[in-house]
Structure formats: structure tokens, C-alpha cells
Chain A
């Protein structure tokens, strides 16, 4: 084993690609702004500086560990260096933390505290630039940008979109779309992954909390919530609940305390999606037309395909997303009751996702001109609402969601993770509905963190070739391969966010590095703990199909592609 010395202690080098990783392994949380393990190394923020035994100062993210190396991470020189960097960053940064949407969640704020900056000696004479509010998903505030470039690299490297980049230079440098356009005029798909990596509020979630309170405070409005699978595994993060724990029960209670009239589970919509999408796949396999079938649950992916590969539009499933299916069904369910009681039903959809905010505005998701989902709030916004009310989230009792849309199968739960939709569909299409069959499917290659997986599954007599992708850059590569005839599939599942909705653009990201694994484990546990694992065994589905949908699948559950 080879070793290096960090702050007078020997630390083994085990294939880490940079010194920073070794330092973190040694239990030291060295500050960084511009380093993310999944992105290319930029080395611009200089927060991660260390000093070697010859007094040389360098960025630990940009250098490889070498055996015998001796470094220190916290000398006087380094402390002063980091402090100066933060002070300089703050000198041209808005300092109204109390009114910032990111207050308390900002890396710049917390590093200024950690590093010990108590005053800023420089005047902020930077010209104030307008906010970009053109996207329904995210807001750009260039005045709060510290030019770390994390968003630029995420958008280009992970999502293959490249909607924003650096422009100009020197003190005039900015991160912006080309020609200072609005985000809505670019190819931005609203995934919010740039917001996830942004250390400040320069990119933040477009919030819709006010609309929800307005609806709740209106006595003539029936306010109905639906909660997506990934939300329940993340909402507890900010309330001291162990990472990845399923907080659905508490969430239901909290929503009722806030004044929601009904609380439903988006998983019910996911169960309907399993039925509709499996039927669609079976049909296409039989006719051999429009293959591969692409999933349509992820709106960022759908938009990406429409922007860059419109020639594949017919391959996208006609299914609405689980959110869309459930909202349309809820509106149908309350139609008569609303008329009788003189009320309107307002559907609030609670999602891990910023792109869902745009999905609800798409005319192909409307039913006869009616917008089915009235508003989307993300997990982060929900947390803010819980705080506004002062609910002690970790202490409240758990309650169950309302019927008939409050009960769903385990297959629906795993929609929140990459590979989950595929796993659910394979379960549904399997003739063998036993435990053995569940296990066999779970190890068939549908699970795992890789951004590209492929497998062949038997459906009836036929071998079905499947690909599972997350990250739109990888999806773009796959589409290129399909176009060039280098790859051929029957079914392709794509999710824009890394590892799926559990790490969506609207989720909270706390300090610490096990968020990903805790949520992954949490979602599979939720599946295991659901008494009904197969969609077809959800007892409420038949009821809803018979009494609410009544043969109107095409109107309510599929995208209306005519207009």
C-alpha cells in the first residue's frame, strides 16, 4: 500500500484521482466551490488549496496524489488565502442573505462562516443585472453568480444541452445563454441540475408557494395534493430524519395540517402508467412499428428529444406521466361533486423535479383545453411551507393518504429511480407473478448506478432488447447510435437526472456524501415493504378504471397529440 501524509497523519492512496479525494477520505471536509466528482475538473475557485512541505500552495482538486507526498490543509497561510478568496467573492456579491431564497442552504454563506470572514473591506460596484424569470422551472440571478462554472459543466457534460456558458471576460465575465437571451429562448429543458450544483442562489428553483397558499385560503377551492415517490425519501433531510427514510406518513399529516383537503399518492398514477405503457409496448412489439418505444415520464427528456431529435417524436410513448395521469383522473373524479358543491378542484403536485413545472403547461397534457395539474411545487418548496407553518415534522404522527388514489403497488414506488419504470413494466408483463419472478427481474440488469445499462428480457416468446439511461448527454449518444444503425432496441427508458428523480432538480441536498445511496436503498425498501408489489394486484385500480376512467383512457391518460 502507498501512503501520503496529510496534516501529519499517514493516509493510504487507493486509486483516488486527485488529492482532494484522499483528503476527504481522511475525514477532512476541505471546502470547494468548483469541484464535483462527476464533472470535469475546472480548478478555478482555489478554495481547495493545500500546502506542501516546501511551502508550495496548490489546488488539491487538480493534482494527483503521489506516494510520500506531505501536505497540510489548514496552515495559517492557507487560512488567510481562503479568507481572502471569500472576501473577494463577496465583494461583488449581493449580501442580503436574509431575503435570499437560498438563505441557510448556501455554500457561499456557510463557507464564509466556516472560514471566518467577518467583514468585507471592498465596495460592491458591480452593475446590477436583471433576473431571468422566463423559465417556469428555474430563475437565474446573475448578480449572485461566483463564476465557478459548475452549472455550465453540468448542463454541457451531464445533460448535453449547453444552454448557458461563460461570456465576456475579466470583470465583465458572466454565465449566460448566448446573446444574453432568456432561458426560455434556449434549448434548456428545465431539469434544474444546474441549480443542484450552484453554490449560491444564482440559479434557483422557480417557486410557486404563494399560489398554493392562495388556493388553500380560498373556501371555494378543493385543494388536492399528489406526492411523487422520490419526495418522501428526501423531505426529511431538513428535519433531522435519517437520510433515505420514507416520510410519506408524516407528509400526509403535515399536508392535512396545512389545509389540504385531500392527499393522494402519485404512485397511483404510476400504476396507471404501468398498465398503459405495458399495453402500448405489447402492441408495438406485435406490430413492429415505432420501435424502440421511449418512455415519456421525464419531461426534461421529452423536451430534449423534441429539441434535438424531432425525428424520433413518434417513438415517444403517448402516455402522460404519472403526474399527468393522476391529475386528469382526479379532475374527472371530482367533476360532478364540484358542480354540486359549487367548488373547483385545484391539484397541487409535489415533485422532486423542476421540469414538471413546465410539463403541466404543455397543451398535449390538457384534457379538452383544461389544465389538469394546477401547480407544481418541489420538495424544497414543500419544506419551506412546512417551516412557514411551524410544523415539527420529526415529531408529528403518521397518517395514511386518502382513497381511492392513496394506495399503490411497490412497482409504482420505484418509478423514482433509474431502471424503475422498466422493472415495473417487466413485472407487469411477466406471466409469473411470484416472489421468484420479482427477484429474477430485480437482478436482470435493471438496477445499478451506471448511466447506461442494457438487457434482454423475455416477454412471452419474444426477446425484448432494453436500454436504460440517465443523464441526457448519454441519451443523446444513444440516439446517435440508433440513428447510425449501431444500436437497436425495443424499449428505452430515459431519465434526465442522474440516477433518476431521487436526485431531481427540486430535491434538497444536504451536506454529506451518502444522499445517493440512502435514497436508493430507501426507494427499494419502500417497494419491499409494500404489501402489493405487482401493479395488477392494486385493488383500487379496477375500481378507478371502472368508475372514473370509464373507457376514456385516451382522453385522460394519454397525451392528446392532435392539437
Chain B
């Protein structure tokens, strides 16, 4: 069960966009921006409020890769695997991250809810390849060593 405050926030978001079917996507985007993910309960709630079926809302949400039903860690690390990054060995960056954090292709978020690792097709930072972002801040020209340092820094920061 989500706290009441979530629903209050969602009510605010719905009010901004209006209770129409067409508002589904902007509402979902705002919820995801607020909580970094789209809690299933909230999607069900939104569907009811704006008068679309739950199945339809789910249909729209799963069509776009952008929406995620899983809660994200404090740091969301997006590793670019676009062409430029790929040829510059982004895969070693990714495996290093997986190794450091104990994650895998199927497990995206650490149990302590600190880190989420995802791959994206292109960050649009090809000149800086291989690149990754931490909560939307770009880290260019990554190497496996730099990954270790980065994780340490973030952990330290988190422990402060």
C-alpha cells in the first residue's frame, strides 16, 4: 500500500492536466518524473480518475520503454549502448558496473535501493563516448577504472 501522500500528489498532477483520456501520457510522465517510476497502484488510480480502463492504461504504459513500474534506486545510472559508445566498448563499462553492484541483465536495482543500472540506446553524447549518466548528469569517456571510482564516490556520498 502506498502512502496517502502519493495519491494527493497524483491528484495535483491530474488537476494540472485535466480529467480527460488524452491527459494519460502527460500524467504518467509527471508521476514518473516525481517518483522516478510509475507505481502500478498509481496507474490504476489514474485510469479510474480519467475514465480509461486499467488494461488500456497498461497498454499505453508498456508501449513506451520510458515508463517503468519498478521502483528505482537513489542513483539511476544509464549506460549508453548506442553505436558510438558500443564501438568504444561500453559493454565493459556495463559489466564492471554489474560486478561492482551485484546486478545483472534481469536485476536492475540493488537491494538497498541505492543504485539502478539501465542501458539506453543513445544519450546523444556520442562525442564523449563511452558515456553514462547518473541521475541525468553526464559522465564522459568512461573506463572500467573510472566506474569503480564513481561507485565509491557515490557510496561515500550516500553514507555521509
How far, in Å, is A371 (CB) from chain B's closest CB?
Answer: 31
From B43, B55, B62, B63, contact of A177 by CB (8 A): B55
From A165, A167, A169, contact of B53 by CB (8 A): A165
B63 and A186 within 8 A (CB): no
Within 8 A of A (CB), among B59-81: 59, 62-63, 69
Given the interface contacts A178-B44, A179-B40, does A165 sit within 8 Å of B56 by beta carbon?
Answer: yes
A165 and B55 within 8 A (CB): yes
Within 8 A of B (CB), among A476-501: none
Count of A-B contacts judged by CB separation below 8 Å:
44
* Chain A residue with Cβ nearest B52: A162
How far, in Å, is A506 (CB) from chain B's closest CB?
Answer: 24
Residue from A156, A163, A167, A178 whose CB has the most chain B CB atoms within 10 Å:
A178
How far, in Å, is B46 (CB) from chain A's closest CB?
Answer: 12
CA distance A17 to B40 in the complex (A): 41
CA distance A179 to B43 in the complex (A): 10
Neighbouring A residues of B85 by C-beta, 8 Å: none
How far, in Å, is A26 (CB) from chain B's closest CB?
Answer: 37
Neighbouring A residues of B44 by C-beta, 8 Å: 178
Within 8 A of A (CB), among B92-130: none
Given the interface contacts A156-B53, A178-B54, does A165 sit within 8 Å of B59 by beta carbon?
Answer: yes
B7 interface contact, C-beta 8 A: no
Given the interface contacts A178-B44, A179-B40, does A163 sit within 8 Å of B63 by beta carbon?
Answer: no
Neighbouring B residues of A178 by C-beta, 8 Å: 43-44, 47, 53-55, 57-58
A163 and B62 within 8 A (CB): no
A168 interface contact, C-beta 8 A: yes
Neighbouring B residues of A326 by C-beta, 8 Å: none
CA distance A559 to B82 in the complex (A): 64
Given the interface contacts A178-B44, A179-B40, does A169 sit within 8 Å of B55 by beta carbon?
Answer: no
* Chain B residue with Cβ nearest A160: B53
CA distance A164 to B43 in the complex (A): 16
Neighbouring A residues of B56 by C-beta, 8 Å: 156, 162, 165
How far, in Å, is B104 (CB) from chain A's closest CB?
Answer: 19
A309 interface contact, C-beta 8 A: no
Given the interface contacts A178-B44, A179-B40, does A168 sit within 8 Å of B55 by beta carbon?
Answer: no
A545 interface contact, C-beta 8 A: no
A113 interface contact, C-beta 8 A: no
A166 interface contact, C-beta 8 A: yes
From A161, A163, A167, A187, contact of B59 by CB (8 A): A167
CA distance A164 to B55 in the complex (A): 6
Neighbouring A residues of B47 by C-beta, 8 Å: 178
CA distance A178 to B62 in the complex (A): 10
CA distance A276 to B58 in the complex (A): 44
Neighbouring B residues of A168 by C-beta, 8 Å: 62-63
CA distance A351 to B132 in the complex (A): 62
CA distance A187 to B47 in the complex (A): 14
From B43, B52, B55, B57, contact of A163 by CB (8 A): B55
CA distance A161 to B56 in the complex (A): 11
Neighbouring A residues of B58 by C-beta, 8 Å: 165, 167, 178-179
Neighbouring A residues of B52 by C-beta, 8 Å: 162
CA distance A395 to B34 in the complex (A): 71
Neighbouring B residues of A176 by C-beta, 8 Å: 55
From B43, B62, B69, contact of A169 by CB (8 A): B62
A273-292: contact bitstring with B at CB < 8 Å (1 yes, 0 no)?
A: 00000000000000000000
Given the interface contacts A178-B44, A179-B40, does A186 sit within 8 Å of B62 by beta carbon?
Answer: no
Residue from B53, B54, B57, B69 whose CB has the most chain A CB atoms within 10 Å:
B53
CA distance A177 to B57 in the complex (A): 10
A134-165: contact bitstring with B at CB < 8 Å (1 yes, 0 no)?
A: 00000000000000000000001000011111
CA distance A163 to B43 in the complex (A): 15
How far, in Å, is B70 (CB) from chain A's closest CB?
Answer: 12
* Chain A residue with Cβ nearest B57: A178
CA distance A164 to B56 in the complex (A): 8
Neighbouring B residues of A169 by C-beta, 8 Å: 62-63
Neighbouring A residues of B53 by C-beta, 8 Å: 156, 161-163, 165, 178, 187
CA distance A440 to B55 in the complex (A): 46
CA distance A165 to B61 in the complex (A): 12
* Chain A residue with Cβ nearest B59: A165
A–B complex contacts, Cβ < 8 Å, 19 sampled: A156-B56, A161-B53, A162-B52, A162-B53, A165-B56, A166-B59, A167-B62, A168-B62, A169-B62, A178-B43, A178-B47, A178-B53, A178-B55, A179-B40, A179-B54, A179-B58, A186-B54, A186-B55, A187-B53
Among all A-B residue pairs, the 5 with the closest Cβ atoms: A162-B53, A178-B58, A165-B55, A178-B54, A165-B59
6 more contacts with CB within 8 A, not counting A178-B47, A179-B69, are: A156-B56, A162-B53, A162-B56, A167-B59, A178-B53, A186-B55
